[in-house]
Structure 1
Amino acid sequence: MTSSPIVWKIKRFFNIGSERQLRDAVKMVDSLAKSMIEQRREMGNFSTQKDLLSRFMANIDDDQYLRDIVVSFLLAGRDTIASGLTSLFYLLSQHPEVKRAILEESDRVMGQSGSGSRSWVASFEQMREMHYLHAVIYETMRLYPPIQFDSKYCQEMMCCQMYAMGRMERVWGSDCLEFKPERWLKNGLFTPECPFKYPVFQGGERVCLGKELALLEMKSVALALVRRFDIQVSEPDRTPRFAPGLTATVRGGLPVRIQERNG
């Protein structure tokens, strides 16, 4: 049931309830963004820094615009990454053979320390060599896209159903409902599909600007956790149910059991 617009307008006018909480939250985000900008400004020499904010600050002298950029990085890459990783660990719990294959590939690329233990963190160059891990991430988002639907306007409103498109037999074949990372590999190398067949990141001029950063974040976190911990879903027979919203959020969360690996 949707409340009348007059309700939130009254709350905003008197600065009470949810409107006060929203205003406080915005102030906190603004303060964080401002501190990040000031910190980078104190460092100086933007052209020699490799982070994204410094790249923008080298060409833009508008704090409000920079604030919007910081907020976009913070918010756009938070819920979607969390959603993708939640689905990933659910699927890995259902498919232990995929988890073993990730470990085998990472061991081959990263090796082990002199004591025989696994390193948790991979370099950028090492992650580029992990084609199977990349395929696992793509296959996860085919079945459980972080953004399940999106609307575009071109003379009339059009809705793109990423969740449905990832499960269509005429698009992905008779095994469209199966979790098969191998469908993305040819001769052991990751081979992408047309972005209009796999619209998780959109395509063409409207492709997601944070695509490569999002993939890098997901692979980094997934790899570090898989190599250090064995993560199992507490209720493996329970299929995740998603709450309605722009970002796919598992209703009630995804309870898991975590055990540290030996070696």
Structure 2
Amino acid sequence: MVLLLDLQEPLGARKKIYQEVMEVIEASEDAAFDVFSRNIIDESLNNMHYLHAALSETLRLYPVAPIDNKVCFSDDILPGGYIVRKGDIVFYQPYAMGRMECLWGEDAEIFRPERWLDDDGIFQPQSPYKFSAFQAGPRICVGKEVAYRQMKTFAAVLLRFFKFKLGDEKKVVHYKTSTTLLVDGGLYLEALHR
């Protein structure tokens, strides 16, 4: 899960997610795994605004596909005035786009889930042309909503029952660009029971 890999984010975000999960899922503090997981229903998932924002923020900074391409089906002119011909391949980089100050502001390189929330703490989606982790237009991922539901479900359960920390707190994390974004040398975590 992407969210759990970015353990360099502020501890406050993890605490806010945990608090939201515990408030939204109506299960007691000592509820067993099966009882807790049965209480995760559509309504509770829809009310996990901060978790949704944190997942989006993680995908903004660490998209699964850091670089992607499209093949032009016809001659066209891109918004910047560039001419493309039928059959040309156009690359775009969600990894770089997620860090562009012109799109995300001066704090573009900072993990800040609050950028996705309105004044009432309700999740506000961004244009898929700005946040391209799930692509946009006719090629937008049909499984986007299912992916968010799965990420929220797994994150809620994992964060309810475990605390995570880096296996080596001093290790500097480096990424390898490939078809998917990989952690160079892996990333070892310790999962501790709550």
Does TM, scored on the shorter chain, surpass 0.5?
yes
- 1:204 CA displacement: 1.0
1:167 aligns with 2:85: no
Structure 2 residue aligned with 1:148: 66
Q: Decide which structure has the larger Cα Rg and report it.
A: 1
Give the CA deviation at 1:238.
Answer: 2.8
The separation in 1 between residues aligned to 2:127 and 2:169, in whole angstroms, is 33
RMSD: 1.5
Identify the residue that residue 3 of structure 2 maps to in structure 1. 88
Say whether the 8 Å CA contact 2:25–2:36 is kept in structure 1: no
CA contact (8 A) 1:92 1:98 kept: no
Distance apart, 1:239 and its partner CA: 3.5
Kept in 2: contact 1:136–1:181 (CA 8 A): yes
Q: Aligned equivalents of 1:171 and 1:225: distance in 2?
A: 32
1:218-233 matched pairs, under 5 angstroms? 218-233=151-166
Q: Which one of the candidate residues 131, 137, 145 is aligned to 1:204? A: 137
Residue 111 of structure 2 is aligned to residue 179 of structure 1: yes
Choose which of 170, 173, 182 in structure 2 pairs with 1:240. 173
- How many residue pairs match? The answer is 174
1:117 alignment partner in structure 2: 30
Using the alignment, how far apart are the partners of 1:92 and 1:127 within structure 2?
Answer: 23
Asked if the contact 1:148–1:248 (Cα under 8 Å) also holds between the matched residues in 2, the reply is: yes
Task: State the Cα deviation string for residues 120-166 of structure 1 (Å, max 9, x = none).
Answer: 42222211111000000000000000110101011211001000000
**What amino acid is the match of 1:106?**
V
Q: 2 CA distance for matches of 1:215 and 1:237?
A: 31
Could you list the runs of 5+ residues in structure 1 that have no partner in the other structure? 1-84
Shift in alpha-carbon separation, 1:99–1:120, aligned structure 2, 3 A: farther
Give the aligned residue type for 1:99: R
Give the partner amino acid of 1:241: H
Q: Tell me, yes or no, if the aligned pair for 2:64 and 2:180 is still in contact at 8 Å.
A: yes
Deviations 1:13-38 (A, max 9, x none): xxxxxxxxxxxxxxxxxxxxxxxxxx
In the TM superposition, what whole-angstrom CA distance separates every residue of 1:48-107 from its partner, at most 9, and x where no partner exists? xxxxxxxxxxxxxxxxxxxxxxxxxxxxxxxxxxxxx1x411324542111110111111
Q: How many Å apart are 1:234 and its aligned residue?
A: 1.5
Taking a change above 3 Å as real, the CA distance of residues 88 and 239 of structure 1, as seen in their structure-2 partners, is farther
Provide the rounded CA distance (Å) in 2 between the counterparts of 1:222 and 1:209: 21
Give 1:197 shift: 0.6
Letter in 2 for 1:251: D
Which residue of structure 1 lines up, in the alignment, with residue 79 of structure 2? none
Match of residue 132 from structure 1: 50
The residue number in structure 1 matching 2:14 is 99
Whole-Å separation in 2 of the counterparts to 1:90 and 1:200: 17
CA change 1:162–1:216 in 2 (3 A) is same
Distance 1:200 1:194 in 2: 11
Q: Secondary structure at the match of 2:91?
A: strand
Residue 81 (structure 2) aligns with: none
More helix by share: 1
TM-score, with length taken from structure 2: 0.84
The CA deviation at 1:253 is 1.6
3-state SS of 2:179 partner: coil
User: In the aligned structure 2, how far is the partner of 1:128 from the partner of 1:134?
Assistant: 9
Contact 1:127 1:219 in 2 (8 A): yes
